[in-house]
Structure 1
Amino acid sequence: MLPLRPALLAAALVAANLVHADVPASAPFTAAQQHVIQQLSASEVRAAVPKIASEAASSVAKTIEGEKQAIEVAKDTLEVGRKSVDWWLTALGLLMAVAGIGLPIWLSRKHDQVEIKLKEADTAKQKAEIALRHAEQLVESFSKQTSLIPSADDITGKLSTEVLEKLHKVKPPQVVTLIEQAWDAHRRKDWKTAKPLWELLSLIEGHDHNVWFNLGLTLVHTNQDWETAASYFQRSYLLEPTAKALHNWGKALSDLASSFSDEKKDLYFVQAFEKFAEADRLRPDHALTYNNWGAALAKYAETLSGSAKREYLVKACDKFTKAIKCEPESATAYKWKAFVLEALAKFLEGAELEDKLNEAAELRLKAEEMESQTS
């Protein structure tokens, strides 16, 4: 059974329908509802209508009020949402405006900075190219100059009148005097006097390759500071690439190597061999190069053992053979080859041993004969 208030409301609505329309009372209700309605008398319906109507109006009013409140809440929510959307749109607009203004400015500044760096790099490149051209011109000018100071390894006497006249034309008298004094001391093998004179000239005539070469020779003859001697021959070679500078450079390096017993020994010997090979390329078939080269190989062999020692002794023997071929009257090459053959004989036995020793003895005898003829 339906609750009372809904039932009464239903009865009122039915009564109203019965009065104003011909619609059957049972049309909008279920069978159970129809049964309840039928039990109500007409007088009860009429008596309940005002009360029912009042209650219905109050219920409707409350429903409407609730719906109004819900609509207000929804409106407030929508307003808050709209304001939030407006805020974000405003913020996004401002951000885009800032980006639209700031990004081009930032890009413009970066572009300017890159342009400045490129200009600086281009300026530095131009300066470097100018310096390089200047250096090349200096090297070319020096390479075209013929040294007026003779090489000390060619000394046979005093400076000729012709050389002195050329020197006086292009150099101050004091410099010419220093050259004469250094040359004379070198000729007399007065190394203590020659060395400081060549050192002084290296400060004045540092562009002359023979000054450095002559200074290096004074150290070689006094067996002093092989490393410094090597650096002097290196400077001479850089100013004027000559075979004599290279093979003397190699000799100084091999003598320097002999003063070490660690890995530096191998390093300097290898560098010496390279210098001799380059000297041979610049001036093939030069007896002095082969003698110095062979001596360095023999010295290095003495620091080795076994097959490695034998290998370098064979190489040294080959260099002395070439030296004898280039200069058959060189007693030095004969003596060095005899020494190497005697060292190689230790690896032989029987007839081969005897043959090597006999060959070495013949070479020594020939060297002694040559030295006796020149003494």
Structure 2
Amino acid sequence: MTQQPADGYDVVVIGGGAAGLSGALMLARARRSVAVIDAGTPRNAPAEGVHGLLGHDGVPPAELLERGRAEVGGYGGHLVSGQVESVTRQASASAPPGEVPGFVVTLADGRTVEARRLLVATGLVDELPQVPGLRERWGRDVVHCPYCHGWEVRDRAIGVLACGPMAVHQALLFRQWSADVTLFTHTLPSPAGQEAEQLAARGIPVVEGEVSGLEIVADRLAGVRLADGTVVGRQVVAVASRLVARAAFLAPLGLRPVEHPSGIGEHLPADATGRTDVPGLWVAGNVTELSAQVGGAAAAGAGAAAQINADLIAEETRRAVAAHRDRAPFSAATEARVSELVTGNARHGL
């Protein structure tokens, strides 16, 4: 069940995956007004189950998110369906001097929501090589992460499609789950030197030549087809997608994805707490940590939320101190005058 957004919140969370919902849960339990804006396009939707998540191993992704939404709603958090179009600053005049101006979040349908702080947890997009069949079978028998899918494809004939600098590393990883692993160079040069030696030592053959498609029999992957027509029998294809953060809507704030140091894609940089260079804006999950699994993303969301709550408390305390100081001289003068009147009345027997 989703709701219409209110005019303003302490925190707006953009993204309703594990990181966003975990952050919203933490904030709602901290008695913050919080809204989660979710476009409803989770990255792991094609997968049958979430794996490696303690206590929830194998749970369908949709079920895990539904549980999370119910928990956030149970603490008063709002769940809003919508695609965020842009994020801008509120007018600086709306914030007291020395404080961080809030944000205006504009949705694709024209709705706007104001927030004192933002937590962006929109995840990423997997950009796959332009090989027919890969996208259609993504999350089934075309996989990317051995820690997410390795157990499920164990002992099968696995083909690793080289499409980036981590291809050999990926092949060596999948070798842990199967003794039948083949590396397809596709459009990249054949491994040489130490990498070639490592592959040979682990019994991983290398097939050169561009891959033109997948061989499907009875809705099952049966092989990898090369441009020359050769078909190499495989039951699973592993491919390292290029990982790109979903963050175009932050451009008005000057925050854009940059190349990840590992060379696997683009992310939004942040410090260890998720704080970005934009005051008042935190990030969590795959939008900043491209390789984070569901458990790590959820933990990052909770951690960022705690930092946001502490930041708001610090701001509210500064306001309270300023107000207290403004009242103090008046209170002292009033107290002195009352004391004087009481003393005078006593002298006159009143």
TM-score range, shorter chain: under 0.3
- After TM superposition, the score normalised by the length of structure 1 is 0.20
Task: Say which structure is richer in helix.
Answer: 1
Higher Rg: 1
- After TM superposition, the score normalised by the length of structure 2 is 0.21
